[in-house]
Structure 1
Amino acid sequence: MKQKLFFTLAISGLCLSASAQKVKFTEYDLDNGLHVILHQDKTAPVVAVSVMYHVGSKDEDPQRTGFAHFFEHLLFEGSDNLKRGEFMKTVSSNGGQNNANTSQDRTFYYEVFPSNQLELGMWLESERMLHPKIDEIGVKTQNEVVKEEKRMRIDNAPYGQFAANIFQKLYAGTPYQWAPIGTMEHLDAAKLSEFLAFFKKYYAPNNAVLTIAGDLDIDKTKELVTKYFAEVPKGEPVVKKPYDLKPITQQIIDTAYDANIQIPAIMAAYRVPGMRSRDTKVLEMISTVLTGGASSRLNTKLVDEKKTALQVGALNYTLEDVGAYITYALPNNNTPIADLLKDIDAEVVRIQTDLISENEFKKLQNQFENSFVSANSKMLGVAENLSNGYTFHNKNTNDINEELDAIKSITREEIRDVARKYLNSNQRVVLYYLPKK
């Protein structure tokens, strides 16, 4: 039995060391400002083509929220050379997959194709950037799609409004106070000219990163990049709007009601720094200590031993400029939710007071190394991480190769000190999330 266990661990170690190699890439700029990142990996005949635009919900007019997410949908309508509704059909009929997603900070489009369809993926993204179909028909069609998405994922989903309620209080007065889905009334009121102006301002090549990863030839791919993207006209420089962030000096308590739930929840959210801060990685480690798996501290204490919680969690919601560290719990056996918060707080204080054990720390490092390897095991993950490095880490595309070393350098003392710095009751929002009668 011991021999078998040792063999398994040894094989796991070999896999980690083999997979966690440096990600090689080539990067350069076109004359129109488009940043290009190419990564060659001939392990499988697959290629990911992606474009990340540095625009999210925080770049919107407060009276026109939801524009960035709306464009995530609108730019699938077609183009001057692609009939309405043919974008996704073209991808699937050629053996590919595609999708897009929007956050407060960026919009990310991608296709994953067999490598012999690389040129098709690049043509599709160039069509989206060069001359997409933005007209009254498309706006009306996608308006209904977005409304249905909001109804399904937020309005009628259990606990669907919790993030929106937290950010309204935690980042009141800033562009982070509204959710990427936006307000339907704002989209209904918008004119076509406003959509066209939003596209012209933010979806220019000088506000985007084209990242291609997979089974490709670097020189041939460069030729295709020039062929399909060099003609896209450069836009005006995008200047991010400044905003003031007033400090939180005492606990804010709020209540929200949800007709879609029967079990209440309690949440506590703390202001923490954005993704460029080293402290962000430390906070992610703290989350793992608290609720990263069945043997984590809060799961063991509240779910297994005391049986006072059906579910408990801690997560670091990381954004470009800021972040939200959120803890939450759902009660079991009619436990008062205020008692759950006390138990969560007690474990946070324990991290602030005592160093985690050496064994716990070693386990934590292994978990993060596994997570790092997993995130870069597929070409789409590599493409997104390369794009994130350039977009959000001061144009440091090599952040993908520096992240693991940064994680390994974090100490037990640093975990304790970061918890002391940010996770204090006078710096947070507490949300009682209750069933609506």
Structure 2
Amino acid sequence: MPPILRLLAAVFLLAASPLLARADGATHFTLDNGMEVVVLEDHRAPVVVHMVWYKVGAADDPAGQSGIAHFFEHLMFKATETMDEGEFDATVQANGGTHNAFTSWDYTAYYQRVAADRLELMMRMEADRMVNLRLDRSQWLPERDVILRERGQTMESSPDRQFQEQMGAALYQNHPYGRPIIGWRHEIAQLTQDTAMAFYRRHYAPNNAILVVAGDVDPEAVHEMAQRVYGVIPAVADLPERSRPTEPPQLAERRVIMRDSRVSQPYLMRSYLVPPRRSGAQREAAAYVVLAALLAGSDQTSILERALTYEQGLTITAWAGYNGTAVDHGVFTLGAMPVPGVTLQQAEDAMDAELARFIETGVDMEQFERVRMQIRAEAIYQLDDAAARAQTLGAALAVGLTVEDNDAWLSILESITPEEVIAAARSLDRRQSVTGWLMGEDA
């Protein structure tokens, strides 16, 4: 692949599809090379957030190479045909900007926040490393050691994170969501330059990427700039479709009991496999969001906190959550931390009793209306943060949702009925769950 500067000097430009302006200030278009672009206007400050999302994450790591997607996120800051190792970081900082990257199971994202007049510079550097990375010019091996240390410092030094890692591994019998994003230590230690470059050539391409630009920009100007900078990069013709092992029918609930001398306060968690948000059919996922908010959205008014912590005095805290922005599976989580003198079994029994009581008695309409108001308020607050809007939309697009799905999400949440919430609660199947206890060594 020739250097990006030679690509930019090419005599041809790939035309982009017409701009599709939206009422919420978003503009959406796709370059002819397949790169999707979304522009979110926000002219309150002369800054811009530039994000490139690749539709590849830890769940796409080849078997035996767990952690390669995260490893490669680190390697993207190495040398290219036109930049020395460390030059990307130095250039962003010299222009008064900040930048970082992150990996999930379904995507890898790179972003910069800079003055609006530095946008094209960010585009050129990001386009450069999309096609011109040169690990043979970089000290890549020490970066693998950095990740091994990162695993030790952030994962293995924390019993809570190790517990969550074990919970995830138990929840999935076959699907790669059960592997940690950072990877298993013994497999990280075997990653090489060749495996990294093979991963790069397979997945890093404009037709596997989404560009989100948010801030003080003009959509037409971004359209012209993206076409000129990214549009000249050829699409990868043999881009592989995501092919992941499917989860077999789960017929038996599982339990994880972890003891660690570093644990001072035991707690329990249960994770259920549930559907994710699906394009064009988001009501089921929205019902799980509202259910989680009703069960544990507020310290004093949520069902679990009010019953277990304030009325019965059994727990220090109790919680619920739903993560549905994913390609293949969503996860609904319940948890409780008992007060001293209350066993994990007693806390678990009380938690289950409150869930059963909620299903039997139905939704309290006063609380239901309060939760709907909170959901709307949170959505409005997010509109005040261009970076948060860019991140929310980028994540949605990266897992297969559309701009239209994202636009409709709030109205769907607000239209969910109490009957749909109870149906979501009834669908929580213990046969498709893992219950974990984390406790001290002597418990």
The alignment's TM-score, normalised by the length of structure 2, stands at 0.88
Match for 1:291 among 279, 296, 306? 296
The residue aligned with 1:253 is 255
Q: Is the 8 A contact 1:52 1:109 kept in 2?
A: yes
Structure 2 equivalent of residue 267 of structure 1: 269
Q: Does 1:313 align with 2:319?
A: yes
Deviation of 1:163 after TM superposition, in Å, equals 2.3
Matched residue type, 2:317 = Q
Report the AA paired with residue 386 of structure 1: L
Greater Cα offset, 114-123 or 380-389: 380-389
Q: Quick one: distance in 2 between partners of 1:372 and 1:366?
A: 10
CA deviation after TM superposition for structure 1 residue 305, in Å:
3.2
For each residue in 1:19-68, what CA deviation from the matched residue of structure 2 results, as whole angstroms up to 9, or x when unmatched? xx952322222232211222222122121100110001111112000011
Residues 420 and 380 from structure 1, CA distance in 2 versus in 1: closer, same or farther, beyond 3 angstroms? same
> Residue 336 of structure 1: CA displacement?
0.3
The residue aligned with 2:162 is 161
User: Aligned to 1:359, which of 336, 351, 366?
Assistant: 366
Matched, 1:114 2:115: yes
Asked whether the equivalents of residues 207 and 238 of structure 1 are also in contact (C-alpha less than 8 Å), the reply is no
Q: Secondary structure at the match of 1:406?
A: helix
Please tell me whether the aligned partners of residues 386 and 398 of structure 1 are also in contact (alpha carbons under 8 angstroms): no
What letter is aligned with 1:398?
Answer: E
Q: Is residue 2:231 matched to residue 1:226? A: no
Aligned partner of 1:57 in structure 2 is 58
Which position in structure 2 is the counterpart of 1:390? 397
Higher mean alpha-carbon deviation, 360-369 vs 118-127, is at: 118-127
- 3-state secondary structure, aligned to 1:44: coil
Gaps of 5+ in 2: 1-21
Change (3 A) 1:333 1:113: same
Partner in structure 2 of residue 239 of structure 1: 241
Q: Measured at CA, do residues 30 and 245 of structure 1 come closer, stay the same or move farther in structure 2, by a change above 3 Å?
A: same
Per-residue CA shift, 1:104-148, capped at 9, x if unaligned?
101111111121211122122112212123238442122122122
After superposition, the C-alpha distances for 1:326-375 in whole angstroms (9 at most, x for unaligned) are: 11222212210011111111221123222212210111101111121223
Structure 1 residues not aligned, in runs of 5+ = 1-20
Match of 2:5 in 1: none
Structure 2 residue 430 is matched with structure 1 residue 429: no
1:414-425 alignment, distance < 5 Å = 414-421=420-427, 423-425=428-430
Determine the structure 2 residue equivalent to 1:66: 67
Distance 2:429 2:221 in 1: 54
Q: CA deviation at 1:185?
A: 2.0
Cα distance, 1:398 vs structure 2 = 2.3
Does the CA-based 8 Å contact 2:102-2:108 persist in structure 1?
yes
| CA pair 80-197 structure 1, distance change in 2 beyond 3 A | same
Q: Which residue of 1 aligns with 2:212?
A: 211
Contact 1:317 1:324 in 2 (8 A): yes
Q: Secondary structure at the match of 1:49?
A: strand
Query: Does residue 1:25 correspond to 2:32, yes or no?
Result: no
SS of 1:398's equivalent?
helix
Amino acid corresponding to residue 297 of structure 2 in structure 1? G
Distance 1:152 1:310, change over 3 A: farther
SS in 1 for 2:403: coil
Report what 1:371 is aligned to.
378
TM (norm. structure 1) is 0.90
Identity of aligned residues (%): 28
Show the 5 A alignment for 1:79-228.
79-135=80-136, 137-228=138-229
Task: Please name the residue that 1:13 is paired with.
Answer: none
Distance 1:32 1:402 in 2: 28
What is the alpha-carbon distance in structure 2 between the residues aligned to residue 78 and residue 298 of structure 1?
A: 52
Cα deviation, residue 230, structure 1: 2.2
Q: 2:405 aligns with which of 396, 399, 410?
A: 399
Q: How many residues align?
A: 415
For the 8 Å contact 1:170–1:269, the answer to whether it is kept is yes
* CA-CA distance at 1:272 after TM superposition: 0.5
**Distance across 2 between alignment mates of 1:289 and 1:135:** 54
1:211-235 Cα shifts (integer Å, max 9, x gaps): 1111112222222212221232322
Q: Which amino acid aligns with 2:56?
A: V
SS of structure 1 residue aligned to 2:158: coil
Q: Deviations over 1:372-405 (max 9, x none)?
A: 12233212122223323433344x2122221111
> Which amino acid is 1:390 matched to?
L
Among 333, 341, 348, the residue aligned to 2:348 = 341
Q: Which residue of 1 aligns with 2:36?
A: 35
Contact 1:389 1:398 in 2 (8 A): no
Q: Distance in 2 between matches of 1:40 and 1:356?
A: 39
Whole-angstrom distance in 2 between the partners of 1:201 and 1:192? 14
Q: Which range is displaced more, 78-87 or 93-102?
A: 78-87
Aligned residue for 2:285? 280
Structure 1 residue 290 displacement after superposition: 1.6
How far apart, CA to CA, are the structure 2 residues paired with 1:392 and 1:64? 22
CA distances 1:283-338 after superposition (whole Å, capped 9, x unpaired)? 12111112112112222222233332223221113322102211122221221001
Partner residue in 2 for 1:332: 339
* AA aligned opposite 1:305: E
**Distance of aligned partners of 1:425 and 1:30 in 2 relative to their CA distance in 1, 3 Å threshold:** closer
**Aligned-pair RMSD on alpha carbons?**
1.9
